[in-house]
Amino acid sequence: MVFKKAQTLFDKLWAAHRIADGGDGADLIAIDRVCLHERTGAVALRSLRDAGHDVQNPKRVFAIMDHIVSFRENRGPDESRSPGGGVFITQTRKLALEAGVNFIDTNDLRQGIVHVIAPELGIAIPGVSLICPDSHTCSLGALGALAWGVGSSESEHAMATGCLRVTKPKQMRVTVNGALGEGVSAKDLALYIIHKFGAKGGQRCAIEYCGSAISELTIEERLTLCNMAVEFSAFTALIAPDEKTISFVLGKPYAPNADEIADTREDWRSLFTDEDAIFDYEIEVNAADVQPIVSWGTSPEQALPIGDAIPIGADQKVLDYMGLSGGQRVEGLEISGAFIGSCTNGRLSDLRSAAAFLQGRKVADGVRAVCVPGSQSVRRQAEEEGLDAIFREAGFEWGAPGCAMCFFAGGQTFAPGERVVSSTNRNFEGRQGPGVRTHLASPATVAASAVKGAISRADKINVGVDE
C-alpha cells in the first residue's frame, strides 16, 4: 500500500508548477504571470528585444507605472518624482506597447502600486505563480498565490520561456492564535514578529501564516502581513485561501470568469496544508501579546511597543543616525513628517483607519503630512466616502498613486534630518531621503503622531479632543 506524503500549501503550489528537474538541486518552475514596473521594466523588455526574442505570452505580462511616477495630484503623463525619471516612463511605455503586453499607464483608471492593483484586478489569485522585479511581491501570497520578487534578468527569462530555474526553499510555519487587541493592526503584528524573532528570522524560507488570528484578518490585513515577510528575510509568504479569499477574488477582471469559476473554486479550496505536513521551522505567536509598535532604528527589527525604552547598549551607529540614545523613550519624540501610503498600508482600510482618527483634528504645526493612496481605485473610493476631505481638512497633502515618498529615488522627499513617522515597510538610512529618520508604524499611529506632533499611540489621545 502506498501512502501519499502529507504536503504543505507551498509543496502543493510548487508541485503544480514544477516542469522538470533543473539540475544541481533546482527545479524548472512554470511562471503564470509576470508583473513589471517602469523602474526596471524597460531594462527587461529592451534586453529581450535586443536579444531577438519575443514575449512568449504577452497576455500573461503586466507592465505597470508606479515606482517613480510623481505623487502630485495633477501630474502629467510623463511626470516623475526624480530628475530625469521621465525617461523610465517613456521607455517602458514604448517597449510595453511594442511587445503587446498588458499595459497600465500613469493616467489609466486602473493604475497604482503593483502589489495593490494585482489583487484589485485579479492578476494575483489563488494558485497562480507570479513574479515581479520587486521584493515585496511576497505580498500576493496573502491570496494563496506562489509569488516572489526577482531581478530584471529573471523577468526577461520568464517572459521569453515561461519558466524559471529556482531552488526550492525551506519552509516555516508562523502560527498566530488568539485575538489582536483593540487598536492593534496587521502592521503591528508584522513589526512584532520581526522585532521578536529578528530581521533574519525568516531564514529565506517560504513562510505560511496560519492560526485563529490570521483567519480573522481581512484580505487587506493579510496583504499587509505578507508584504512585510521580506523584511523578515523570507523567500515568500503564504496564507491558505478561504471563503474570504474566494469572495474577494470573484468578479475581478483577470480572475476566472463565471463559466470557469465552479471548477476553479474547488481547486482553490484544495489549497491548504495537510494536517500531518512537516515544516522545517515553527514559530508560535500569541496575538494578545501584540501592542501598537513603532521602530526606533534603521531595521524593522529595531522596534518596540510605543512607550517602551530603547535598549541600553543598542548599536551606536544606528543611534547616531536616528539622533537617539539607549534608554530613551520613543513615545513623545517630536516629528516633522508623517506619511501614509505604500504597498504596505496604502489600501482603503488603511486610509479609513487613519481618517477615523483624523476626523475633526488638525496636524500639528511644523509637521508635513502626506497621504498617497495605493491605487486609483482606492483613491476614487476614498473620495466617494469623503476620506480625502478629512485628510485635507486635517492638513494632509492628498497625492496620486505610486511609490513616491516610500523610497527615495531623487526629487520629491522629506528634508535631510527630519524625523518621519511612516506607514511604509523600510527604515534603513536614506530610505525616504538622505538623512531622513524613519519610524515605521501603523496608519493609525502615523495619524495620531501627526496630530500630536510627536510619536504617539492613537488610544492615548482622547477621541475628538486634542490633548
Cα–Cα distance, 243 to 232 (Å, whole number): 28
Q: Please report, for the chain, the start and end positions of each structural domain, with discontinuous segments joined by +.
A: 10-167+247-258, 170-242+273-289, 293-455
Residues 6+ apart with CB under 8 A from 146: 10, 13, 14, 17, 127, 128, 129, 130, 236, 238
Q: Are 437 and 322 in contact (CB under 8 A)?
A: yes
End-to-end CA distance of the chain: 71
Architecture of domain 293-455: 2-Layer Sandwich (3.30)
pTM of the model: 0.96
E strand map for 105-170? 129-132, 146-149, 163-167
Q: What is the pLDDT of residues 277-290, one digit of tens each?
A: 999 999 999 999 99
How confident is the model at residue 462, as a pLDDT? 64
Q: What is the DSSP letter of 170?
A: P
Q: Which of 364, 319, 318, 360 is nearest to 338 (CA)?
A: 364
Nine cell digits for residue 152: 530584471
Residues in the chain: 467
pLDDT at 467: 41
Chain centroid to CA 366: 29
**pLDDT confidence of residue 247:** 92
- pLDDT, residue 463, reads 43
Task: Considering the domain delimited by 170-242+273-289, tell me its CATH architecture.
Answer: 3-Layer(aba) Sandwich (3.40)
Residue burial 248-275, b: 16+ Cβ < 10 Å; e: rest = bbeebebbbeeeebeebbeebeebbbee
* DSSP, residue by residue, 387-452: HHHHHHHHTEEE--SSSTTTS--SSS-PPTT-EEEESSS--STTTTSTT-EEEE--HHHHHHHHHH
Q: Walk along the chain (467 residues) and give the pLDDT tens digit of each residue.
A: 344 689 999 999 999 999 999 999 999 999 999 999 998 888 999 999 999 999 999 999 999 999 999 999 889 999 998 888 899 999 999 999 999 999 999 999 999 999 999 999 999 999 999 999 999 999 999 999 999 999 999 999 999 999 999 999 999 999 999 999 999 999 999 999 999 999 999 999 999 999 999 999 999 999 999 999 999 999 999 999 999 999 999 889 999 876 777 667 778 989 999 999 999 999 999 999 999 999 999 999 999 999 999 999 999 999 999 999 999 999 999 999 999 999 999 999 999 999 999 999 999 999 999 999 999 999 999 999 999 999 999 999 999 999 988 988 877 789 999 999 999 999 999 999 999 999 999 999 999 999 999 999 998 776 444 44
Q: Which of 164, 218, 152 is nearest to 189 (CA)?
A: 218
CATH no. for 10-167+247-258: 3.30.499.10
Same topology between domain 170-242+273-289 and domain 293-455: no
